[in-house]
Each structure stands twice: as C-alpha cells, then as structure tokens.
Amino acid sequence: MMASEFKSNVGLYEPTGLQQAKGKRMQKRKLGKSGLEVSALGLGCMGMSFGYGPPADKPEMVSLIRLAVERGITFFDTAEVYGPFTNEELVGEALFPFRGQVAIATKFGFDIRVDPRGTKGAPALNSRPDQIREVAEASLKRLKVDTIDLFYQHRVDPDVPIEEVAGAVKDLIKEGKVKHFGLSEPGVQTIRRAHAVQPVTAVQSEYSLWWRRPEQGLLAALEELGIGLVPYSPLGKGFLTGKMDANTAFDATDFRNIVPRFTPEARKANQAIVDLLGRIAERKNATPAQIALAWLLSQKPWIVPIPGTTKLHRLHENLGALSVELTAEDLIEIDTVSSKIAVQGARYPEELEKMTGR
C-alpha cells in the first residue's frame, strides 16, 4: 500500500467505541505531580522500525503518526536503540509539523557504538554522565526538537550510581535540553534514590493483565512519590488482542521468537486470559484489546498506556478503548477470574530479564 492510499483509507476501519470517541475531545492525564499532561493513551513507536519483524514502510508510518495526532494523541515513545536511531528519525520527521503540541519521550542507557545489536539480546549498558549528554545531543537532532520532553534511563546501569545519572539529567534540565526525567524498568529503591536528586516524572514498565508485577510495590511507591506510570506492551506484545494462537508464525526477525511466553505451548496455555477478555468484550460490544486497555486505564488516573501499532485499524481500535466503561462489577470479575489463571512462560529471555527491577 502506498502512503497516499494509506492516508485515504483512514475511514475504512471504525471499531466499536471509535464513533463515540471521535465526537469527544481526547481525554488527558497528568503523569503524577509533574505537571506533564498528555493524552490518556500514547503511541509506542518502536515496532514501526524494530523488534517485530522488518521495518514498516517509512512514509506509511509518518502518515500513521500524523493521523494519531489528528485523533488527539499527544504522547509518543521512542528510543535511540530502536533501529538503532531510525525510529527517532522517523518520529522526528513525522512530528516536526506539531512541535510544541506533542510530547516525545526517548531514552538513553545503552552503548550502541560498542555493541550495536547486542551479543546477549541487547547492547551493553552505559549510563555514564558523558554518555547521557552525548545521547541527548544526538537525540535532539534526530527528533528535530530543541528540548526532549521526557528522557528515560532505558535500563538501570549497575556500574553507575543512580545519583550520578539523575544529576546528569538534572544538568540537562537546567540547560533546557530536557524537560522531564524518567526511568524504565527500575526497582523501587532506585526510584527513591533518583527522585531525591532529580524528581522523576514517569516510570515506564511493562504492565498488563498478563504481567502484573507492578502491583507488587511499584504502584504504591509511585503514588506515594507522585510519579506517573507509562505501561509499555499493554496488549501483551499483541497477544491480548486475541488475534494470535498457538499456530501463529512470526517473521524470523521478530523478537517474540526468543520470548518464552510466546512458545506455541505457552500461547496455548495463555489463551485463557484472552478468553476472559473476549467474554467481557462481547458484553460491552467491544474487542479484547479495548477491554485490556480499559482495564489498565481504570487502575490509576496517572497511568498512560502506550500501545504500539503499524496498522490504521489497530490505532482506531485502541482509541476506542477510551469509550469503554468498565463497572466495579466488571473489574471485580476480571480480577477474580484472572487471579486463577497461571500465565505460562517468562516475559523475557533470562539475560534481558536480569536488566529489570534493579
């Protein structure tokens, strides 16, 4: 499909809930007490360039991102490691006409120059202050902005005290090159130590109905400190959409091929969580993906999920989740039933999981 056709097909997909959502102004949320206000749903852009098979067509993705802005999305997530570099370039090109109207989050923390692809599934970590500054300067150019709205440490570097990391970002904030500081997949004590040096605006963590570890202390700490939560993979890397099963085949370059949770056996066992979403969705005249997102949105008012997609109809479907209302009874049912489902398979290969929760 050419970019012009991609743009002209905007109206072809109108999933349940979108008709109502289009007639309303986009819901906004503040990430904790920081004052950073963004759309209630953001857009994760990684999969457009990296992780889930070959990169998507760039002109089509520029059109998709700009359509997201037209639909009211004001929060976009990228990182230098996605590609590497190409995703930031894509986001920068797509959002250049909307500078000052949207918030872009990007990340530092990997040493791409030393180990671009990563010998153990990810490049080497590097959060030394000089590296943070170098990454910031390069990201500013690729994103075509004067200031990075939200600058996350992508993974905690055990070789660099978090106080030094927070101090380096604090200096960038003083210089006007960064507005807000974030952490991705940190442990609670790391958050507290960083927050004491430079207030943390947002923590990014995987969180969904099939990965609920943030409920084990993280959410309480964020609420106490006034920090927002940005859940990535809120649809379980696509599994919670209900559009895959044990027989689904992934492209050879798709990251999910090495994820234990995505073996055919695990997918077959984990279908129970999708079946639950499907039952609720049928009652609500919605889709499983919309129920999964609506559930996340109902957990805390300072949670902003960032589902990613390369498809127009999925973007529309995700936005439709904002019009799905889950009652207290619905939420109790979801929690009661899901608590009895033992999700099979680790969410990351061992080496990547070691990088989280530090």
Query: Are 177 and 132 a contacting pair, CB within 8 Å?
Result: no
Strand 28-30, strand 37-39: pairing: antiparallel
Query: Are 317 and 15 a contacting pair, CB within 8 Å?
Result: yes
Cβ count within 10 A of residue 101: 9
At residue 105, what is the residue type? A
Query: Are 255 and 241 a contacting pair, CB within 8 Å?
Result: no
Contacts of 342 (CB under 8 A, 6+ apart): none
Q: Which residues are catalytic?
A: 82
- How many CA atoms, within 13 angstroms, populate the side-chain half-sphere of residue 213? 14
**How far apart (Å, rounded) are the C-alpha atoms in residues 270 and 152?**
31
